[in-house]
Structure 1
Amino acid sequence: MKGIIFSEFLELVEDTFGLEVCQEMLDENLDEGSYTSAGTYDHKDLVKLIVSLSKLTNISIEDLQQVYGKSVFTSLLKSMPGLEVNSSTTFEFINQVEEYIHIEVKKLYSDAKPPQFVFVSLSESEMVLDYISARCFSHVCFGLIQGCAEYYNEKIDIQMNPIQEDGSQVRFTLKML
């Protein structure tokens, strides 16, 4: 997992919960918190940080992932200059993820393993897609979709239904409101 994901997570924790909570979370995991944007790190280290933060704040792991996903959308968008000009709606943007964004990420970082989106159906008012990832960060994906809709100033109902019990495949149904 790319370091930008870790750096953005630590920034969110510090901004939301303060430096002391951020440091306590890092200390519990014997983590120095030194991540470079281009570096590659084990996603399990992020999971450990999220679990610790959940214990420290009494906020569910799922809710923390969702808030993180929503907050990181704009930063990730900025990390790929020119991308936002290729779409004017949430659906258009999400439609680019598999065919453009993930391909560009793999070009930039040959070791990257982004999640896969399999599109089931698409109309003007509804999009159905499957999120597939061994990392099981579907709640982060949920938050990213929320962040995307907010960016495009659209109201979207998001339903998330697991296909695999372990969370490695989840179906999202998005409906324009």
Structure 2
Amino acid sequence: MKGIVFTEFLELVETKFGLEMVDTILNESELPSNGVYTAVGTYSFAEMVSLLTNLSKETGLVIDDLLLVYGEHFFTIVEKSYPSFLTQYTDPIEMLSSIENHIHVEVRKIYPDAELPTFTIEEKTSDSLVMIYKSSRAMHAFGRGLMNKTFEFFNTKATILVEKLKENGTEVKFSIATYE
């Protein structure tokens, strides 16, 4: 998993819960990296699981809720650092439907060894989208957070229904509909 995911996660934890919480979860987690991350480095996903598990334990918040907030936070990083990912689109449905064939292609140019989820489009209209998320990491709530902020960015209201196709969250169906 790319280091930027770790550095931004710890930044969010510090902002929301304080520097003491960052120290607590770093000390309680099993981290081969010793909690020292660089944005361009690559680290084990098990480290993120350990950090999330300990943050959940300390805050009483479930991991999916933490990932949702983190996804929303991470959108601001995309907006600031990679605005071209957003400005080339005029519509959130068009942007979300291009994740697999355009956005992930561009991400791989920046981070060639990034391990990204896959998104398969099942159905698309001008105001709706059904897509299947697949990832062994089961971070669909992070994706949902990114989607929430995508609609906000485009000043569009939407409902996003999430259906776990596999109980462990490694395969999820997103059914999205925009409205006035």
TM-score range, shorter chain: over 0.9
Distance 1:142 1:109 in 2: 22
Q: 2:149 aligns with which of 144, 147, 150?
A: 147
Matching of residue 17 in structure 1 with residue 17 in structure 2: yes
Aligned length: 177
SS in 2 for 1:121: strand
Query: Counterpart of 2:38?
Result: 36
Name the counterpart of 1:133: 135
Runs of 4+ in 1 over 4 A off after TM superposition: none
Match of 2:51 in 1: 49
Cα offsets for 1:5-24 (capped at 9, x unmatched): 11111000000000001110
The equivalent position to 1:73 in structure 2, one of 72, 75, 81, is 75
Aligned residue type for 1:82: S
- What does 1:155-170 align with in structure 2 at a 5 Å threshold? 155-170=157-172
Letter in 2 for 1:154: T
Once the two structures are aligned, what percentage of the paired residues are identical?
38
AA partner of residue 69 (structure 1): G
Using the size of structure 2 for normalisation, the TM-score is: 0.92
1:51, CA displacement in angstroms?
0.8
* Counterpart AA for 1:20: E
Distance in 1 of aligned mates of 2:23 and 2:85: 34
2:73 and 2:146 map into 1 onto residues whose CA distance is 8
Task: Check conservation: 2:30, 2:47, Cα contact below 8 A.
Answer: no
How far apart, CA to CA, are the structure 1 residues paired with 2:121 and 2:81?
A: 24
Deviation of residue 85 (structure 1)?
A: 2.0
> Which of the numbers 79, 83, 86 marks the counterpart of 2:85?
83
Equivalents in 1 of 2:46, 2:82: separation in Å?
Answer: 25
Tell me the SS of whatever aligns to 1:40: coil
Aligned residue in 2 for 1:8: 8
2:97–2:129 Cα contact (<8 Å) kept: no
**Within 2, Cα distance between the matches of 1:69 and 1:109?**
18
Q: SS state of the match for residue 71, structure 1?
A: helix
Structure 1 unaligned blocks of 5 or more: none
Query: Quick one: distance in 2 between partners of 1:67 and 1:39?
Result: 23
Q: Using the TM superposition, give the Cα deviation of residue 165 of structure 1 relative to its aligned residue in structure 2, in angstroms.
A: 2.0
Q: Which consecutive unaligned segments of at least 5 residues does structure 2 have?
A: none
Offset at 1:107?
Answer: 2.6
TM-score (norm 1): 0.94
Cα distance, 1:125 vs structure 2: 1.6
Q: Which residue does 1:103 correspond to in 2? A: 105
